[in-house]
């Protein structure tokens, strides 16, 4: 087994026995072999003596320790692709991706990002302060700056890469907040931007990504509300439903444009290798629902009778101004994904919620 730490003069460590906590290094009679390499991340990642396979991707990911990023890393590694986690905290990344479970994973802190981006097949940019939380003025500032700063840094590093080592693809997350809110309009990828705070964030976020070298295929995925047990708005909503009786949130007439986390990961995965995926693609399920219908299905999945509305004030107590992500909505259609023939595993919210509620929380 081999662990790689990205950076100049990185050390490759090989051992004969299985690893053990807390530092994942064996302390018994295992055979240790150290080899010093004065090379960049590009060369160290391919140091196994094997050439890169024709269908093998090398993917650098920001936001890999987040709700969506963790699933994407697992999917890529399950299919034997190489993953480079671009993080601000190596210790946090190692706690989420322990070496014993993720052999060969490259973890790089910010000073080494450039060396890891060079030689990557693609870069996936998912970084950003979570929106599903209480918004203070400081949090709102961080929501915008965290997205724009990381995206700008990634784009600058791609643009400064040597031609032969430059990634061919950049997939950068954005959000359906780009469109603003409405109870009557239907939005697709050609719809104009709204004029509220989240629309402003998304416009600037996308503008930063669009500065990438024109030879790099860029995909902007405008995600809806991502449904999963381990993060996002749903994780905050489930306790409220258990506390009350599974009824609607607020008026219930607002549109809820959602996507199961597995479908979003599969959409990103497909965009990595399929050259037909480019430009803006809405990361939403093909059947958005009114929030009252979504809440009815959620209450049913949780075994809660759907008759007592969850007070709007209760959600605002949890999310503050961030409750607007759920309480205000927009009907967003994934026109481009449908045109491309993307196979949604969960096109209907009832099946998506049943799957999520029944699954075991990953540790």
pLDDT computed for residue 143 by the predictor: 93
Stretches in the chain below the pLDDT threshold 70? 1-54, 240-251, 304-323, 325-326, 360-363
Calpha distance 176→198 (Å, rounded): 9
- For residue 310, give its domain range: 58-358
Joined tokens for residue 134? 């209480």
In a domain, 97, yes or no: yes
147 domain-assigned: yes
Report d(CA 203, CA 86) in Å as an integer: 24
Task: Give, for 172, the enclosing helix (H) or strand (E).
Answer: strand 169-175
Closest C-alpha to 325, from 160, 153, 143, 203? 143
Q: Are 125 and 63 in contact (CB under 8 A)?
A: yes
Evaluated on CA atoms 172, 325, 351, 187, the torsion sign reads negative
Question: What is the DSSP secondary structure assignment for residue 311, as one 8-state letter?
Answer: P
Q: What is the pLDDT of residue 35?
A: 33
Q: 293 with 349: CB under 8 angstroms? A: yes
Residue ranges of alpha helices (H) inside 320-361 are 324-327, 335-339, 349-358
Query: Does 242 fall in a domain?
Result: yes
Instruction: Render pLDDT for 7-20 as a digit per residue (tens, 0 to 9).
Output: 443 433 333 333 33
**Partner residues linked to 109 by β-bridges:** 87
> What SS3 class is residue 259?
strand
Q: Is residue 340 part of a domain?
A: yes
Cα–Cα dist 4/108, whole Å? 9
Within a domain: 79: yes
Residue with tokens 């929380």: 361
Query: What are the pLDDT digits (tens) for 160-197?
Result: 999 999 999 999 999 999 999 998 999 999 999 999 99
CB 74 within 8 A of CB 96: no
CATH of residue 114:
3.40.50.720
Distance CA 87, CA 154 (A): 12
Instruction: Please check whether residue 154 is in contact with residue 201, taking contact to mean a CB–CB distance below 8 angstroms.
Output: no
- Domain presence at residue 99: yes
Who contacts 317 (Cβ-Cβ below 8 Å, separation ≥6)? none
- DSSP string over 192-248: PP-SSHHHHHHHHHHHHHTTS-TTSEEEEEEE-EEE-TTSHHHHHHHHHHHHS-S--
CA distances from 315 to 17, 50, 241 (A): 50, 53, 10
At 321 the pLDDT is 66
pLDDT of 318: 61
| Residues near 243 by beta carbon (within 8 Å), at least 6 away in sequence | 314
The two structure tokens encoding residue 41? 């991340």
Confidence at residue 8, expressed as pLDDT on a 0 to 100 scale: 42
Which two structure tokens, joined as six digits, stand for 331?
């009907």
- The whole-angstrom separation of Cα 237 and Cα 260 is 15
Rg (CA), the chain: 21
9 lies in some domain: no
Number of structural domains the chain divides into: 1
d(CA 146, CA 157): 17
Does some domain include residue 312? yes
Residues 100 and 20: their CA atoms lie apart, in Å, by: 8
């Amino acid at each position: 087994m081999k662990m790689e730490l990205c950076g100049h003069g990185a050390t490759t460590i090989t051992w004969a026995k299985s690893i053990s906590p807390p530092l994942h290094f064996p302390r018994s009679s295992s055979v240790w072999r150290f080899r010093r390499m004065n090379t960049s991340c590009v060369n160290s990642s391919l140091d196994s003596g094997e050439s890169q396979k024709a269908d093998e991707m090398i993917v650098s990911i920001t936001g890999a320790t987040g709700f969506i990023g963790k699933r994407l890393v697992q999917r890529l590694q399950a299919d034997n692709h190489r993953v480079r986690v671009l993080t601000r905290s190596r210790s946090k990344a190692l706690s989420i991706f322990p070496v014993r479970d993720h052999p060969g994973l490259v973890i790089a802190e910010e000073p080494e990002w450039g060396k890891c981006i060079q030689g990557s097949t693609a870069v996936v940019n998912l970084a950003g302060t979570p929106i599903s939380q209480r918004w203070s003025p400081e949090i709102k500032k961080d929501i915008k700056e965290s997205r724009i700063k990381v995206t700008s840094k990634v784009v600058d590093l791609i643009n400064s890469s040597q031609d032969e080592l430059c990634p061919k693809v950049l997939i950068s997350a954005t959000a359906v907040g780009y469109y603003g809110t409405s109870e009557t309009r239907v939005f697709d990828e050609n719809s104009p931007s709204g004029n509220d705070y989240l629309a402003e964030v998304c416009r600037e976020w996308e503008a930063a990504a669009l500065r990438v070298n024109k030879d790099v295929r860029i995909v902007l995925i405008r995600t809806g509300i991502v449904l999963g047990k381990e993060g996002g708005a749903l994780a905050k909503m489930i306790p409220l439903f258990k506390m009350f009786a599974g009824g609607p949130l607020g008026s219930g007439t607002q549109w809820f444009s959602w996507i199961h986390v597995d479908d979003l990961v599969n959409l990103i995965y497909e965009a990595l290798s399929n050259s037909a995926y480019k430009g803006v693609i809405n990361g939403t399920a093909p059947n958005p629902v009114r929030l009252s219908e979504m809440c009815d299905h959620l209450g049913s999945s949780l075994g809660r009778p759907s008759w007592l509305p969850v007070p709007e004030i209760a959600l605002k107590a949890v999310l503050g101004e961030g409750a607007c992500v759920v309480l205000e909505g927009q009907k967003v259609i994934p026109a481009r994904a449908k045109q491309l023939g993307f196979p949604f595993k969960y096109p209907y919210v009832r099946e998506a919620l049943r799957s999520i509620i029944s699954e075991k929380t990953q540790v």
